[in-house]
Amino acid sequence: MILMMRATSSRMRESLAEASRYVSISALVRSAEQSAMSSLRSSEQPFSFQPFSISAFPKVSLRYLFIDFDSFFASVEQQFRPELRGKPVGIVPSLGIDTTCCIAASYEAKAYGVKTGTGVREARYLCPGITFVQGDHTRYVQTHEKIHKLIHEVIYVDAVLSIDEMYGRLPPRWQSPEVARSKALEIKASLAQEIGPHIGASIGIAPNRFLAKLASKLEKPDGLVLLDFDAIPAALLRMPLSEVTGIGRRIEQRLRTARVLTMDDLYQCSRRKLHRIWGSIEGDRMWYALRGIELPPVVTHRSTVGHSHIMPPRLRTTHGAHSVLHRMLQKACRRLRAMDYFTSHLQVKVTFGFEQRWRAEAHCFPTQDCIILGERLNQLWINHPTDTAPPTKVAVTLSHLTQGGSHTPSLFPEENHPRRIALQNAMDAINKRYGGRTLYYAPAMEAQRCPEAAPMRIAFNHIPDLELEDDTP
């Protein structure tokens, strides 16, 4: 009991010290801003915001370790297929389709200008010797899960952000540069030994998660960068603004309009100027993040569940598109039931040819029933365009989600079918055990019998659950 109390007291002291350090930093920031504004009001000369001075802040240890895997899909293929090593590789959704694009590229291909989103024809022009490989998403998820478990044995993984990004917070005793570097090297050695030397990882270590992610980009591939306050902002001045997390095309255009063209310009901006450019508090968060100050994370909630798919050539017909839409709808409903969510809004998108886009949507009482949503889909499909080019891309999105604990069942029998939901849960259990194409409703039959129709895919912000979404038995 005494040992437990001492340990608890020690952790409390560490937490209080960390909190007081954060409060002192915030107070210094406010003081600096007030001083700057006073100078602005009292001086007749145009005000120029001085560069960020690290000397005004107390030294804070390296607290975050960010891991970014290098060209993950292509690296996994090169690890498991020795004949691809050292060669330019492009990962594509399907082979033999010149209208698709690369979803990943190896560093050998990137040297020729091939990158994610490059069309197959353009990639072949830029790099005549490129080898295209159809993405094996099951293998990528399996490899990711092994890597996650392996890294978790070295440091605690706080969050997995995507298939190729994760981070962990270093405890106080590991925050010195020497120990932090040794932990990063231990992770790299474990990956090379247990997974393979061809799956590299770039690691960034910094006072907050934002800077740790930027640090991981500085020495790709297979880099290791420690970015402490002494290196801010000098180490980041060569980074293009487009590579900074939180700066998309729209914000970059706003920065350009405000004559903020480089990282040096960005660091010269006052917090109020960034607030005006962003048009929200996100500009303030950027100002603090660039200076290594960790702010409370923004709590987000799931708002949609859906799937999109480039149609395989054999299904580019009206009936084929309708069948693929039903398959994706049934997959989305399976995910809803697994997460215990209900939806009241269905949106369908179809691209005919490569220019004509059609969208339709319908509302319903919150449900997770494939039959109810399938009927809404059929009603929408009646009004789809005719006399057009063949459909090439389809998408289904379920939104206006409600958690199961907040859901009130309908009193009307046509909107409440508990026995049918029980049947669909039984179908989910069978599909989970024997593969996602085992049991399904008839409108999806044509797509279910086509292996290329809406297979499991890894999205930017969604790592599929192999037990729930894998199609292989």
Which residues does the annotation mark as catalytic?
A: 165
Take residue 83 and report the two structure tokens written for it: 């004949």
3-state secondary structure the chain: CHHHHHHHHHHHHHHHHHHHHHHHHHHHHHHHHHHHHHHHHHCCCCCCCCCCCHHHCCCCCCCEEEEEECCHHHHHHHHHCHHHCCCCEEEECCCCCCCCECCEECHHHHCCCCCCCCEHHHHHHHCCCCEEEECCHHHHHHHHHHHHHHHHCCCCCCEEEECCEEEEECCHHHCCHHHHHHHHHHHHHHHHHHCCCCCCEEEEEECCHHHHHHHHCCCCCCCEEECCHHHCCHHHCCCCHHHCCCCCHHHHHHHHHCCCCCHHHHHHCCHHHHHHHHCCCHHHHHHHHHCCCCCCCCCCCCCEEEEEEECCHHHCCHHHHHHHHHHHHHHHHHHHHHHCEEEEEEEEEEEECCCEEEEEEEEEEEECCHHHHHHHHHHHHCCCCCCCCCEEEEEEEEECCEEHHHCCCCCCHHHCCHHHHHHHHHHHHHHHHHCCCCCCCHHHHHHHCCCCCCCCCCECCECCCHHHHCCCC
Half-sphere exposure of 209 (CA within 13 A, CB side): 17
